[in-house]
Chains A and B, each alone.
Chain A
Amino acid sequence: MDFPVIALLVLLPSGIAVVIAALPQRTRSLWFPLAIALSALPLAVAGYIMWEFDAVDGGFQFTQDISWFGPWDIAWNVGIDGISLFLVVLTTILFPISLAASMNITEKVKLYIVSLLILETGLLGVFVSLDLLLFFVFFEIVLVPMYFLIGLWGSKNRVYAAVKFFLYTAFGSALLLSGIIGLAVMARDQLGGFSFDFNTLLTLEISSSAQLWFFLAFAIAFAIKVPLFPLHTWLPDAHTEAPTAGSVLLAGVLLKLGTYGLLRFNLTLFPDASVRLAPWLATLAVIGIIYGAAVAIVQPDVKRLVAYSSVSHLGFIVLGIFAMTTQGLQGGVIQMINHGLTTGALFLLVGMIYERRHTRLISDYGGLAKVMPIYAGFFLFTAFASIGLPGLNGFIGEFKVLLGAYLRFPVLAIIAALGVVLAAVYLLWAYERMFTGPVTNEANAGLRDLNGREIAVLVPMAVLIVFLGIYPKPALDRIEPAVDRILDRIEAVTDYEVPEYGSTADIAGGGE
Chain B
Amino acid sequence: MTDVIWLVVLFPLIGFLALLFFGKRIGEPRAGYLGSATVIVAFVLALIAAFDFIGGEGEAHTVVLFEWMPSLGLDVAFLWDPLSAAMTLVVTGVGALIHVYSIGYMHGDPRFGRFFTYLNLFIVSMLLLVLGDNFGVLFVGWELVGLSSYLLISFWFTKPSAAAAGKKAFVVNRVGDVGFLVALMLIFSSFGSLAYGEVFEHAPEVLSGGMATAVTLLLLIGAAGKSAQLPLYVWLPDAMEGPTPVSALIHAATMVTAGVYLVARSGALFELAPTSAAIVATVGALTALFAATIAVGQKDIKRVLAYSTISQLGYMFMAVGAAAYVAGVFHLVTHAFFKALLFLGAGSVIHAMADEQDMRKMGGLRSKMPITFATMAIAWLAISGIPPLAGFWSKDEILAVVFNRGGAWIALWVIGLITAGLTAFYMTRLMYMTFFGAPRWADGVEPHESPALMTMPLVALGVASAFAGFINTPWRLGFEHFLEPTFERFEVHLAHPPDGITPWILAIVSVLVALAGIAIGRRRYGGAMPAETGLWWDRVENGYYVDDVYGTTLVLPGKRASQVMAFAFDAKIIDGIVNGTGTAVRAFSKALRPLQTGLVRSYGVGILAGAVGLLIWFLSRGGV
| Chain A residues near B (Cβ < 8 Å) | 147, 163-164, 166-168, 170, 173-174, 177-178, 181-182, 185-186, 188-190, 207, 210, 230, 232-234, 291, 294-295, 297-299, 326-327, 330, 367, 369-370, 384, 389-391, 395-396, 399-400, 402-403, 406-407, 410, 413-414, 417-418, 420-421, 424-425, 428-429, 431-432, 435-438, 470-473, 476-477, 480, 500-512
Contact = CB atoms under 8 A, between A and B. Distances in A.
Interface string B591-616: 00000000110011011001100110
7 contacts: A297-B562, A390-B143, A410-B189, A417-B181, A436-B163, A473-B70, A508-B213
B167 interface: yes
B624 A210 contact: yes
B388 interface: no
A406 B185 contact: yes
Nearest to A177: B611
Contacts of B213: 508
B188 A403 contact: yes
Contacts, number: 212
A436 B189 contact: no
Interface of B: 66-72, 139-140, 142-144, 147, 150, 154, 157-160, 162-164, 167, 170-171, 174-175, 177-178, 181-182, 184-186, 188-192, 206-211, 213-214, 559, 561-563, 565-567, 570, 574-575, 578, 582, 599-600, 603-604, 606-607, 610-611, 614-615, 618-619, 622-624
Contacts of B570: 233, 295
**Best-surrounded residue of A295, A413, A477, A480 (most CB of chain B within 10 A):** A295
B290 to A, nearest CB: 24
B171 A428 contact: yes
A429 B209 contact: no
Contacts of B170: 424, 428
A389 B618 contact: no
Contact of A507 (B191, B211, B574): B211
B76 to A, nearest CB: 8
Contacts of A406: 185-186, 188-189
A472 B213 CA distance: 33
B623 A186 contact: yes
Contacts of A400: 69, 72
Contacts of B574: 230, 232-233
A138 to B, nearest CB: 16
Contacts of A502: 189-192, 206
B567 A233 contact: no
Nearest to B154: A436
B610 A167 contact: no
Contact of B160 (A188, A403, A437): A437
Contacts of A438: 158, 160
Contact of B158 (A182, A234, A437, A477): A437
A131 B8 CA distance: 55
A399 B618 CA distance: 44
Given A186-B623, A390-B140, A502-B190, A370 B158 contact: yes
Given A178-B614, A403-B188, A502-B190, A509 B209 contact: yes
A391 B69 contact: no
Main secondary structure of the interface of B (DSSP, over half): helix
Given A400-B69, A437-B160, A476-B71, 6 more contacts: A164-B578, A406-B188, A428-B170, A476-B70, A501-B190, A508-B213
Contacts of B144: 389-391
B140 A472 contact: no
Contacts of A330: 71
Given A390-B140, A400-B69, A436 B158 contact: yes
A432 B153 CA distance: 13
Nearest to A369: B157
A403 B178 contact: no
A278 B157 CA distance: 46
A78 to B, nearest CB: 23
Nearest to B190: A505
B178 A432 contact: no
A181 B611 contact: yes
Contacts of A370: 157-158
Nearest to A414: B182
B71 A326 contact: yes
When A and B form their complex, which 4 residue pairs have the shortest distance between CB atoms, in order from nearest? Answer: A509-B208, A501-B192, A436-B163, A189-B623
Contacts of A436: 154, 157-158, 160, 162-163
Given A369-B157, A390-B144, A178 B72 contact: no
Contact of A506 (B67, B191, B208, B599): B208
Contacts of A512: 208-210
A41 to B, nearest CB: 31
A299 B566 contact: yes
Contact of A185 (B191, B561, B599, B624): B624
B607 A298 contact: no
A207 B624 CA distance: 9
A173 B614 CA distance: 14
A111 B494 CA distance: 74
Nearest to A396: B69
A367 B159 CA distance: 10
Given A233-B575, A420-B174, A506 B68 contact: no
B565 A295 contact: yes
